[in-house]
Amino acid sequence: MTQSRTHTCNELRLADAGKTVTLVGWYENLRRVSKNLGFLILRDFYGTTQIVIETEEMMDQISGLNTESTISVSGVVRERSSKNANLPTGEIEVVPEKIEVLGKCIYNELPFEINRSKEADENTRLKYRYLDLRNPAVKEKIVLRCNVVAELRRSMMEHGFLEITTPILTCSSPEGARDYLVPSRNHPGKFYALPQAPQQFKQLLMTSGFDRYFQIAPCFRDEDARADRSPGEFYQLDMEMAFASQEDVFAVLEDVLPPVFEKFGTYRTASRAPFTRISYKDAMEKYGTDKPDLRIDLTVQDATACMADCGFGPFEGNVVKAVVADGYKGTRKAIDKMMADIEVQAGNKCYWFKVDENGTLTGGIAKFLQERSEAVKEALGLKPGDFIGVCAGKKQAAQKTSGVLRKYLGAAAEGHMRTDCYEFCWIVDFPMYEIGEESGELEFCHNPFSMPQGGLDALMNQNPLDINAYQYDLVCNGVELSSGAVRNHDPEIMVKAFELVGLGENDVKAKFPAMYNAFCYGAPPHAGIAPGVDRMVMLLAGEDSIREIIPFPMNKTAQDVMMGAPSAVDPKQLSDVHIKLDLKEEEN
């Protein structure tokens, strides 16, 4: 090693006994035995080493130093009399001849104990993130992220992809979320936008003659945080292929991702090619979600015919869905809590009943089903010992609630969920169009640049709501890693697709001038996808919060409490970019 040290704090072993070494790192703690004997733990990026203080002079030098100060220790390695088998360096210790203070910690008390920083509240951790990252348990997630990204890069290049960076300052584009805008100094009144994704640029690369593109791409979206979504910025494995179909994209990711998940994941088993494929329609009917967790073997059944008119008010005139699980032994208290949790997550109530050992329906809403119990048991395939969760509502609400019910019941009922693997699946055949909930008008369901199945003929002759697109989602363990599509590279088909949502050819040319014009010069069929790097690493690390695997994340309200962003700026800076603030005072 260089940097004024001979070894790291994780490097010395018994074979090094007798060597004179120099170590550097953070003074983690000191166990003082007497005025001339103490055991100091020195920690660096790589690990820890025990330093034995054996003179009163050396003890005096250390006693006035706060923990987390950085020091240099030069001394002799010797065998420990009391070994620690839990540490790689547990067979040795260093007897110092010289200790030099490199950087003082001036505070007697820290915001939290470094090795227990994950127990602190989140805002405190984020404010002192540089201390939080000293915790080896936190640091290792960032190291994991680095290794995963390096492996993804290596694999993509082995598959013939070129890493090409695309602009950060670009134009506003309708990607489905709010843009981050950047005012232009040289062009008053005009704005750049930070890219929500490199969507248009990577398609333009395909029209430029590049065959296979990828990038660990930064993306910026002004959207609210979730457990699996960081506000502000995120990174994705962005890729695009020319002269490619949906099958070509699937083949690449089915080859690239499983080895990465098996090498770096908490679990060492991952789906192999071909991944399970499920149509969007079937996913919603069978699993109640378009991101099903296939580790759970439970499915959703339609119970409308046998339950809707049973006399239970919430079922009348609604779609009724049921999930049946054997092996669930929850107490009444546990059942009530599960039902309450499902309602909070789904925004819709959930109900239940059981089949006892005699085959009788009991508990929950069973009293409403007694007169038709045989029909219910036959329709749902019920047997003694089964627990049945039931929900109802308009079709989409019932599906969503049943999906949440399946997830909770799968985790709670014994033997219905594998917890030691990564299960991938493709969700395919998404609808091209939908009726907007707010507008009541025909809208694109997902990516407006997708190729409709059936091409121009479908757009001309089919009911728009019956048209599927060559769009696909990649899902792993119930987490959506990515959306992708075969792109609409034909100007005629593109114009017609936008006409159906009320945008004419001039609108298309105005909104997407570069892409439209490029396609008029002979564009290859092309397809792509962009799995989220942050979500991948979150799954690999076994973390529930995406903020655990981001070096410097924002908090839930998109604030960087460490740096103080967003912040006010000097009036001259606003003047330079032709901005005047018109802030309305908050009402008391």
- Would the pLDDT of 409 be above 80? yes
Give the DSSP H or E segment for 471. strand 471-476
Quote the CA–CA distance of 259 and 151 in Å, as a whole number: 9
Number of H helices, E strands in the chain: 17, 22
Domain 14-103, second-level architecture: Beta Barrel (2.40)
pLDDT > 80? residue 2: no
Give the pLDDT mean for 168-196. 88
pLDDT for 287 equals 98
- pTM here is 0.91
pLDDT for 41 equals 96
> Per-residue pLDDT for 437 more than 60?
yes
What is the pLDDT at residue 271?
Answer: 96
Please tell me the predicted confidence (pLDDT) of residue 436.
Answer: 86
Q: In sequence order, which residues have a C-beta less than 8 Å from that of residue 190 and are 6 or more positions away? A: 183, 184
What per-residue confidence (pLDDT) applies to 1? 47
Mean pLDDT of all residues in the chain?
Answer: 94
Q: Which of the residue ranges 56-65, 295-304, 457-466, 536-545 would you say has the lowest mean pLDDT?
A: 56-65
Contact in structure between 39 and 53 (CB atoms under 8 Å) = yes
Residue range 274-288, pLDDT digits in tens: 999 999 999 999 999
- Which pair of structure tokens corresponds to residue 575? 């003047």
Could you tell me the pLDDT band of residue 293, with boundaries at 50, 70 and 90? very high
Name the pLDDT band for 588 (thresholds 50, 70, 90).
very low
Measure Cα distances from 206 to 203, 210, 239, 331, 470 in Å: 5, 5, 11, 58, 18
pLDDT at residue 587, as a whole number: 47
Distance CA 199, CA 240 (A): 9
Q: What is the DSSP letter of 431?
A: B
Question: Where are the extended beta strands (E) located within 520-575?
Answer: 526-529
pLDDT at 85: 93
- Superfamily holding 296-417: GAD-like domain (3.30.1360.30)
pLDDT digits (tens, 9 = 90+) for 245-256: 999 999 999 999
Domain assignments of the chain as residue spans, ordered by start: 14-103, 137-274+529-573, 296-417, 425-524
Q: What are 226-276's pLDDT values in tens digits?
A: 767 788 899 999 999 999 999 999 999 999 999 999 999 999 899 999 999
Instruction: From 98, 19, 90, select the one nearest 57 (Cα to Cα).
Output: 98
CB 536 within 8 A of CB 475: no
Phi, psi for 458 (deg, rounded to 5): -65, -40
Provide the b/e sequence for 353-387 (b: ≥16 CB within 10 Å). Answer: bbbeeeeebeebbbebbeebbeebbebbebeeebb
CA distance 236 to 221: 13
Instruction: Name the CATH code of domain 137-274+529-573 (choices 3.30.930.10, 3.10.310.40, 1.10.150.120, 3.40.50.12500).
Output: 3.30.930.10
**pLDDT tens for each residue of 11-37:** 999 999 999 999 999 999 999 888 889
Concatenated DSSP letters of 159-194? TTPEE----SSB----SSSBPPEEE-SSSTT-EEE-
